[in-house]
Structures are given as C-alpha cells and as structure tokens.
Amino acid sequence: MRHPTQTAASAPAPASPAPPARLRVGILLARRFTLAAMANFVDVLRLAADEGDRSRPILCAWRVVAPRPGPVEASCGLFVDAEEALGDPERFDYIAVVGGLIGERQWLAPEAEDWLRRAAGAGVPLIGLCTGPFILARAGLMQGYRCCVSWFHRNDFLEEFEAMQPVSDQIFVVDRDRLTCSGGASTAHLAAFLVDRHVGRAAARKSLSIMIVDEAMAAERPQPGLPSDLGASDPLVKRALLWMQQFPETPLTVGQLAGQLGVSRRKLERHFADDLGLTPAKAGQRMRLAQVRALLTRGERSVTEIAAETGFSDASHLIRVFRAAEGVTPEAWRRALPG
C-alpha cells in the first residue's frame, strides 16, 4: 500500500526481469540412479551460476523432472525430489539422463522414454551420465552416435547392444547432439565443458577450483581405474592399456593398436619403453596374465576356457607362458591358493 505522502512519480520503478540463464538443463533420474554422477554434474552448474558459491541459478539453471513430481531413490538409498512434470522438453538446452545400477530393469517409465524421443525429435541435445548411455541406447537414441561407457561396464553394454562399439578409453564423448560420459568424477568435467561452451572458461575453472579439482579434463583424457599393476603414467600408454583390456580374447597387434590410437607404431613403442620399460606386446601379455590369475582365483573355469577368454591360442600356450612367469602351471597355482 502506497504511503499517503508518496506520489506516483516517486514510486520505485519495477525491477527489470532477470536475463534468462545461458545454460538450462533438465535432469531425468533413473530408478536407483547413481548419486555421485548427478551431484558432481549439478555442483559444477551450481558454482558457475552465481558469484562465489551462493548457488542462485542465474547464469545456469537446472531442474529435476519426472513423469510425476516426487522422490526418486538413488542407489545409495537417499532420495532426490523431482520438482516438475516432464512438460515441454524445448524449455531446456540439454536433457541429462542419470543412469542406475546395472541389472535393474525398467530404469525409466515408458512415458519418460517417450519424452526423450520427443526431445530428440525437437533437436534438444541429450546427455547420458554414468549408465545413462544404456538408457539412451535402449530408447533407440544412440544409433549412429559414438557412445562413452565406463571400462567397468563395457562388457555389460556389449551384451545388450551387440552392434555398437562403445568408447571406453576416454572420460566423455561429444558427438553432435549426444554427450555421454563414464560416470563418477567425469560428470563434473562434462559439466565444465558445457559451462565453458555457454557461460565461459572462467566460470568453468571457478567451479572446478571450488570443488578442489585441479583443472578441467578434456574429453580424450583416459579413464582412470585401469585394473592392472603396470603403474603407467603416460596418457597415451594408459589409453593403449585400456584398449588392450577391452579385447582380451582377441588381442590387437601393435600396428592395430597404434591405428586405433591415431599414432605411429614407432611412437607407441617409444612411449611404452619410456613409461614402462616394456614393449606394448609384453605389457599386453602381463595384463592378460593378470586376468588369468583373477579367473583362476574364482575357480569356475577350466584352463582351456580361461585360455580362450584371455587371448591365448590354446591351453598349452597359456600353460607355457604362465609357467615362465609364475614358475608353476595354472592348475598348480590355483591349488596353492589359501582356503
């Protein structure tokens, strides 16, 4: 109510409407989604959206959507509220799908998958976080696109989508209007890529710095967590080892491996010699022997089956190489295991 002495001329001018956010992301959570993948992604947007860490959605905006608003359970047992119904997908610049646990059926309701197809038809870019690429592929939305999947879930992906060859030797992939990443901390780097693109490099750098992340990683950075004891530190060598790990039953030749990595054979061999003191072939053999030991420990497969799964021509070949490395046959090594 206007004060009696206040005139129309002295009334405060209405506030100017806030400018629209430069980056608007809708977030669709699968049932039993991975909380870390979502939290890392959203926190980069949050920290880039305002001054300091005040968290106002000014430069970036994000909303969790679902067929019906309400809580969605994460794989860790915590719940996150979906704030809005699906609505018009074109109100977002991107839609990010956060995947759930492998083996959980019906990760998304059918109407949510239909909504993703509508979004794709309208030209809204789609993002798959963690196992989100499984959901996009299941909805028929990754045909003709490169797709990033964690090395840990590569075989799971191939079992379901035999015709696709996922990328498992880098942290995320941007292929036109599909953006996919391997999960965990890599979702922060994908979010930083989007902030850099739409808000600016300084905002992306600030977000990661507040999150105690040294620097933004490029998409081509090798995925960490390679399960080997080789101790590689050279990024090219790490990527090569990841490729070797993905095809244990049909090992690539050094020339084929170099071709996959886009380098010459000589360069690849030089990097292996400098980083590990090994040839690529010898490093690959050590990795395959590590897989042999892991399979022997489980006690389920015969030596012949293990040889086929780990790229040895037959059981005799495996026994000969294993004896040279361990001093005993695979069966003797297995019998000596405790318990």
User: What pLDDT digit, counting tens, does each position of 96-116 carry?
Assistant: 999 988 876 658 899 999 999
- The whole-number pLDDT of residue 16 equals 54
User: In this structure, what are the phi and psi dihedrals at residue 233, rounded to the nearest 5 degrees?
Assistant: -120, -20
Please state the rounded mean pLDDT for residues 4-13: 49
Q: How far apart are CA 252 and CA 239, in angstroms?
A: 14
226-339: CATH topology: Arc Repressor Mutant, subunit A (1.10.10)
Residue from 77, 121, 119 nearest 94 by CA: 119
Residue from 229, 231, 206, 227 nearest 216 by CA: 206
- The whole-number pLDDT of residue 226 equals 57
DSSP letter at 51? S
Residue from 67, 99, 65, 94 nearest 82 by CA: 65
Greatest extent of the chain over all pairs of C-alpha atoms, in Å: 101
The tens digit of pLDDT for each residue in 24-82 reads: 999 999 999 999 999 999 999 999 999 877 889 999 999 999 999 999 999 999 999 99
Q: How far apart are CA 18 and CA 35, in angstroms?
A: 31
The tens digit of pLDDT for each residue in 269-292 reads: 999 999 999 999 999 999 889 889
Please state the rounded mean pLDDT for residues 259-272: 94
Q: How far apart are CA 82 and CA 71, in angstroms?
A: 6
Residue from 164, 119, 160 nearest 144 by CA: 164
Q: How far apart are CA 250 and CA 154, in angstroms?
A: 15
Instruction: Give the other-Cβ count within 10 Å of 328's Cβ.
Output: 14
| Higher pLDDT, residue 271 or 156 | 271
Q: How far apart are CA 321 and CA 314, in angstroms?
A: 11
Helices of type H across the chain: 35-48, 110-121, 132-138, 154-160, 186-198, 201-210, 235-246, 254-261, 265-276, 280-298, 303-309, 315-326, 330-335
Instruction: Specify whether the CB–CB gap between 326 and 333 falls below 8 A.
Output: yes
Instruction: Give the other-Cβ count within 10 Å of 28's Cβ.
Output: 28
Query: Pairing state of beta strands 84-85 and 70-73?
Result: unpaired
Q: How far apart are CA 324 and CA 296, in angstroms?
A: 17
CATH number of 23-210: 3.40.50.880
- The whole-number pLDDT of residue 248 equals 76
pTM: 0.71
DSSP letter at 78? -
Q: Tell whether the model's pLDDT for residue 240 goes beyond 50.
A: yes
Domain chopping of the chain, boundaries? 23-210, 226-339
Instruction: Specify whether the CB–CB gap between 273 and 300 falls below 8 A.
Output: no
Question: Based on C-alpha coordinates, what's the Rg of the chain?
Answer: 25
